[in-house]
Amino acid sequence: MLISCGKPSQLAESQKVFSINLSAGLSSLDPAFARDQANQWMVEQLFTGLITLDSALKPIPALATSWEISDSGRIYRFRLRKDVFFHDNPCFSAGKGKKCTAKDIVYSFTRICSQNLASPAFWIFNGKVQGATEFHEGKAESVSGFLVENDSTVVIKLISPFPPFLLQLGMQYCGIVPKEAIVYYGEKFSEHPVGTGPFIFGFWYPGEILALRRNPNFFETENGKRLPFIEGVKVRFIASPLSAYVEFKRGNIDFISRLDPSFKEEVFDRNGKVLPSFSKEFKVVSYPQLNTEYLGILLDSTKELAMESPLSNSKVRQAFSSAIDREKMVKYLLGGMGKAANAGMVPPGLPSYDEQKVKGNVYNPIKAAQLLIEAGFPKGNNLPEFTLYSSPVYQPVMEFIQKEVSSVGFKVKIDNGEGAALRRRIGAGELNLWRASWIADYPDPENYLALFYSKNKAPDGPNTTRFSSKKYDEIYEKAMLMTDFKERNEVYKQLDQIVMNEMPVIPLYYDRVVRLMRKNISGLESNALNMLVLKKVKKGE
């Protein structure tokens, strides 16, 4: 049905096909390049990693049936399933998918470390796995920390303990690929993916449609029945939120994630409750997401752009933050679909989130005015006009911030840009003040706190503010050596408070996932990472 060679318009409809829309488009189906959400969602359907995360974000077996971590926290040994096969594909002998073994795990991870591939996932292993950096730099022929013990056992050796490492292996970047497919398809592998996941690649017309079909040999079952339950997945690429919403209402799309603010009044009342008229026809699921929306501030001591700006003064940054009424923002602009970020950078849902021990800047215009006096800018006198860089979809929130901070003397101009270009300029250190989101890559507070570690400075790392603190670095490195979770969690809180005291970022709100789906859809798993897991989805009449 789904694997016809015809044009997209000839794609047959089926009651058992799950239809979604990816408004942002899709750039690759190679797990080594699963950088953004659209790519991650599709890689999730096609590939499997050693482990995966359940709805509570706990690591559970996938290709690995079990694992052991040495007392030193440096050696990981994974026992593999013996009943996993890659998708049938012309890259294999007679087109029959081969068995997945430990050699495929080592090949996939080594591939990520290759300098020639230039995968954005290299940071997972760089400086952590023995020999990964040397291999990347061409100083070694293999990664010494990736070992095949036998066909069903793989060993990974770290340089030093890194507690979140197991969770990182659950990222879509770590989906396992066969060498045969890489050799067969070469640079076109991203357009002809071959994995061990619940669905098999059908066809992809970029910007128009993507089709996946059920993998009849998928290794997972539920109640004795082989997964997945649906016959296929149809993906459309409608950029307009209005057009996608209309198609959803018409029944041509089964699922929408991230409701556009333009339609929130059609779904929710002012208190964020689903309107009865909408719930009669559709299902609505909403829950906290590991996503902190924030403003970033450039603090690069090597750039005149940063050092000549009054924002280099922490009191000015604190004043800016204290002038924003986040509670009002969430209630009236977001319709209750979020939580005011009055604590730290780490969002609710992660264990170090603690409103009592981590204090951010709550709305306090009197404090903001006093801080400006102390900084030498009473009532904003002599402050230049700041340019706040963002994207059009966040215009209402940016205008709200612009108005809020003007009440204490800040003058702000909004400059909207295209996403990729904006990210490039932020990474290059060309902007002083910008809006950003940090959606967790893996469910550990370290994923947020790594944004402020000086050795992670952009463009080679995620520290786009170029924040640098010897005290912060020392505590961060100490935390990475702690194997006791509770002890490490308390240190995470210390780090988050340092960030709030220095304020290289101004947290705005912690986001929520909003999913709309048709009444006949069931079994759609969800978690705070907002991953799309379709292997257990059922579609009724």
- Backbone CA torsion sign across 494, 495, 501, 505: negative
Task: Give the pLDDT band (50/70/90) at residue 130.
Answer: very high
The token pair at 402 is 């612009």
The token pair at 358 is 């981590």
The token pair at 433 is 């003040």
3 found inside a domain: no
347 with 490, same domain: the answer is: yes
Cα separation, 146 vs 303, whole angstroms? 40
Residue 8 has pLDDT above 70, yes or no: no
Task: Give the pLDDT band (50/70/90) at residue 393.
Answer: confident
55 with 185, same domain: the answer is: yes
Beta bridge partners of 157: 75
Largest Cα separation within the chain, whole Å, is 77
Residue 262 has pLDDT above 80, yes or no: no
Give the pLDDT of residue 392. Answer: 86
Give the pLDDT of residue 5. Answer: 40
For the chain, give the mean pLDDT: 93
Cα separation, 279 vs 266, whole angstroms? 11
Cα separation, 82 vs 534, whole angstroms? 23
Cα separation, 47 vs 232, whole angstroms? 15
Give the pLDDT of residue 12. Answer: 46
The total of structural domains in the chain comes to: 3
205 with 66, same domain: the answer is: no
Residue 180 has pLDDT above 80, yes or no: yes
pLDDT digits (tens, 9 = 90+) for 324-383: 999 999 988 887 889 999 999 999 999 999 999 999 989 999 999 999 999 999 999 999
153, 174, 196 — which closes off a domain? 196
The token pair at 316 is 């000015």
Residues near 505 by beta carbon (within 8 Å), at least 6 away in sequence: 294, 295, 296, 297, 345, 451, 465, 499
31 found inside a domain: no
What's the Rg (C-alpha) of the chain?
24
Residue type at position 19: S
Number of helices followed by number of strands (H, E) in the chain: 17, 21
Give the pLDDT of residue 522. Answer: 95
What is the CB neighbour count within 10 angstroms for residue 81?
Answer: 17
Task: Give the pLDDT band (50/70/90) at residue 83.
Answer: very high
pLDDT digits (tens, 9 = 90+) for 478-516: 999 888 889 999 999 999 999 999 999 999 999 988 899
CATH of the domain at 90: 3.90.76.10
CATH of the domain at 371: 3.10.105.10
The DSSP output letter for 140 is -
Instruction: Go through 258-281 and write b for each residue having 16 or more CB atoms within 10 A of its CB, e for each that does not.
Output: bbebebbeebbeeebebeeeeeee
Cα separation, 116 vs 410, whole angstroms? 47
Task: Give the pLDDT band (50/70/90) at residue 14.
Answer: low
pLDDT digits (tens, 9 = 90+) for 408-437: 999 999 999 877 788 889 999 999 999 999
59 with 182, same domain: the answer is: yes
The DSSP output letter for 332 is I
61 with 155, same domain: the answer is: yes
| CA dist 311 → 296, 423, 507 (Å) | 11, 20, 16
- Reply yes or no: is the peptide bond before residue 228 cis, omega within 30 of 0: yes
275 with 293, same domain: the answer is: no
112 with 179, same domain: the answer is: yes
Residue 214 has pLDDT above 60, yes or no: yes
Residue type at position 311: L
Cα separation, 524 vs 513, whole angstroms? 14
146 found inside a domain: yes
Residue 203 has pLDDT above 90, yes or no: yes
377 with 275, same domain: the answer is: no
User: 458 lies in which domain range?
Assistant: 289-511
Residue type at position 48: T
Query: Which H helix or E strand runs over 370?
Result: helix 365-374
417 with 500, same domain: the answer is: yes
Question: What is the average pLDDT across 32-44?
Answer: 94
**15 burial class (0-12, 13-18, 19+ CB within 10 angstroms)?**
exposed
Give the pLDDT of residue 258. Answer: 78
Q: Which of 263, 239, 168, 177 is nearest to 480 (CA)?
A: 168
pLDDT digits (tens, 9 = 90+) for 268-314: 887 778 899 999 999 999 888 999 999 999 999 888 888 889 999 99
Question: What is the average pLDDT across 228-244?
Answer: 93
Identify the three-state secondary structure at position 348.
coil
196, 222, 251 — which closes off a domain? 196
Query: Which H helix or E strand runs over 496?
Result: helix 485-502
Residues near 329 by beta carbon (within 8 Å), at least 6 away in sequence: 340, 397, 400, 401, 508, 509
3-state helix, strand, coil in the chain (%, to 5): 35, 25, 45
Task: Give the pLDDT band (50/70/90) at residue 84.
Answer: very high
Residues near 17 by beta carbon (within 8 Å), at least 6 away in sequence: 1, 2, 230, 231, 232, 233, 234, 539
246 with 354, same domain: the answer is: no
Give the phi and the psi of residue 363 in degrees, each rounded to 5: -60, 120
Residues near 323 by beta carbon (within 8 Å), at least 6 away in sequence: 363, 365, 368, 404, 405, 407, 408, 410
Give the pLDDT of residue 270. Answer: 73
Four-CA torsion 437, 440, 445, 451, nearest 10 degrees? -50
Could you tell me if 190 and 29 are in contact, meaning their C-beta atoms sit under 8 angstroms apart? yes
Could you tell me if 136 and 111 are in contact, meaning their C-beta atoms sit under 8 angstroms apart? no
204 found inside a domain: yes
167, 196, 225 — which closes off a domain? 196
6 found inside a domain: no
464 with 440, same domain: the answer is: yes
What is the CB neighbour count within 10 angstroms for residue 85?
Answer: 16
211 with 136, same domain: the answer is: no
340 found inside a domain: yes
Cα separation, 391 vs 410, whole angstroms? 21
DSSP letters spanning 77-121: EEEEPSS-BPPP-TTSGGGPPPBP-HHHHHHHHHHHT-TTTT-TT
Could you tell me if 213 and 2 are in contact, meaning their C-beta atoms sit under 8 angstroms apart? yes
- Lookup result for tokens 């006949």: 520
CATH of the domain at 21: 3.40.190.10
